[in-house]
Amino acid sequence: MHTQTTHCFSLNLGGTLLDLSTPCVMGILNVTPDSFYSGCRAQTEADITTRVHQIVQEGARIIDIGAYSSRPDATHISPEEEMRRLRNGLTIIYKEYPDAWVSVDTFRADVAQMCVEEFGVSLINDIAAGSMDNRMFDTIARLHVPYIMMHIQGTPQTMQQQPRYDHLFREIFLYFAERIQRLRDVGVNDIVLDPGFGFGKTLAHNYELMAHLEEFHLFDLPLLVGVSRKSMIYRQLNITPQESLNGTTVLHTIALTKGAHILRVHDVKEAVEAVGIVDRILHAPDFIP
């Protein structure tokens, strides 16, 4: 089993380096009415404030705010509505924590630009890796922010309608390789890869990805894993998202042993504990009989 990456990565977040030699936790804040896990939806000012405090106090290094639900069959909203929700949420975040590192979960270049230029957000997290807005890569290059790009087959509205691959890893690797080259060509250097668990993947695809997660280190880029309370857990165990915390922690532990650098999570405290325990094991002294 892969136990450690060979490269110590860092991300330039507004002039400050985030060291990823110890994996970090990204806490999810959904300012949407329809995300799949109700525990992290927050729409009122009080709810958003409470959730932001929880994310920070439980030890997340990054707050990931999203205003467009990307669950299967999610309702499509306009860019204007997405921006309205984000402005509201970002205003509250920076009022409470002016120095917070914030990632914005959006596939729209105009939304990304607004969030960086108006609020100074630290990262853009794009579930579509530029495929849903062909201006995204050039926009990221102009904004000079790290870019998290995820693999998806289809769109949030279509991705779980019988996803199919002839060669799962080959197709995902080609997807990333082509996009990494395009990003490099326009001058984007800080790139994070997200395999996209649950985004155009069957249950079998998701577990195949996790079983061979270490193969993504071929790209020599930081790796983000987002499996928190997803269907690959609750369908496997025949439970609900609300009952999926234990399964989430199991997968987080496996991902960390395979070299994940960032965990995107609903339950920050438990993920931070998993990082601490796995990191202690991975850095234990060598055994000399």
Residues with Cβ < 8 Å from 213, sequence gap 6 or more? 2, 195, 223, 225, 254, 255, 258, 259, 260
Mean pLDDT, residues 220-248 taken together = 97
Q: Decide if pLDDT at 3 tops 50.
A: no
Mean pLDDT, residues 93-98 taken together = 98
Q: Domain boundaries in the chain?
A: 23-279
Does the pTM surpass 0.85? The reply is: yes
Mean pLDDT, residues 6-29 taken together = 92
Question: Which tokens in the block code for residue 143?
Answer: 């904004």
**Interval 120-145: pLDDT, tens:** 999 999 999 999 999 999 999 999 99
Mean pLDDT, residues 190-208 taken together = 96
Active site residues: 230, 264
Q: Decide if pLDDT at 73 tops 80.
A: no
Considering the domain 23-279 in this protein, what is its CATH number? 3.20.20.20
**Interval 56-70: pLDDT, tens:** 999 999 999 999 987
Strand-pair category, 16-19 with 24-30: unpaired
Mean pLDDT, residues 185-213 taken together = 96
